[in-house]
Amino acid sequence: DIQMTQSPPSLSASLGDKVTITCQASQNINKYIAWYQQKPGKAPGLLIGYTSRLVSGIPSRFSGSGSGRDYSFSISNVESEDIASYYCLQYDNSPWTFGGGTKLELK
Amino acid sequence: EVQLQESGPGLVKPSQSLSLTCSVTGYSITSNYWGWIRKFPGNKMEWMGYISYSGSTSYNPSLKSRISITRDTSKNQFFLQLNSVTTEDTATYYCARVPFNWAGPYYFDYWGQGVMVTVSS
């Protein structure tokens, strides 16, 4: 199985900050990575697919990049509604595997 | 709009079977793939498997022969059965839609709200 190492596990930010989360795969995943946001008690919501493709309706302050084994997800100008947990998912190889998650909190 | 809703018992005894239903509205399950994911206490997430528009299935090898995903197209529902459960299967279970293209299925786009299942005697 491909291991997805997501960091940091938690992140504290002020409103307006830029934050970055990384996921490192145990092997090349050919840009087949998606990013999700989850708020407590809610379903995960898809934000980005195929490394950097923003889902329709998602604000442009969210972005993704990377290649090979290393990928990142950023939020520029953090807003209060962004307080949530974030997960990466690799779907290059079966079984698909998730990162461990990052909890974003307000400083 | 696509909507998914999980249902099933919230408590299952060890060694018994866990059975969940995902009811889909706004989209036919004879299109796309449809999957199950679970989130453990402590937040680790695991892809369990999916069923295709034609009824073929793919499962996470970690679940070996314990898992079965089936469907009822007349009711636009698909199902998860997990046999011989232990306390390690305590988790929140989600169903989700899986879009696909020429290369195959890719990620999960629409998710249900999830149902928490506790395995305990």
Chain B interface disruption, residue of A94, A97, A102, A104, most B CBs within 10 A: A94
Cβ contact A96:A89 at 8 Å: yes
pLDDT > 90 in chain B, percent = 93
Residue type, A87: Y
- The Cα diameter of chain B in Å comes to 46
Mean pLDDT in consecutive groups of 10 residues from the start of chain A, 107 residues: 98 97 98 97 95 97 98 97 97 96 95
Nearest to A43 among B45, B58, B112 (CB): B112
- pLDDT tens digit sequence for B6-29: 999 999 999 999 999 999 999 999
Rounded-to-integer distance, Cα B71 and Cα A76, Å: 42
| Cα B104 to Cα A88, B35, B61, B71, B119, distances in angstroms | 19, 14, 19, 20, 34
Residue B104 has pLDDT above 80, yes or no: yes
Residues of A in contact with B107 (CB under 8 A): 34, 46, 49, 89, 91, 96
Residues paired with residue B71 on neighbouring β-strands, in sequence order: B78
Query: Where does chain B have alpha helices with state H?
Result: none
User: Which amino acid would we find at residue A55?
Assistant: V
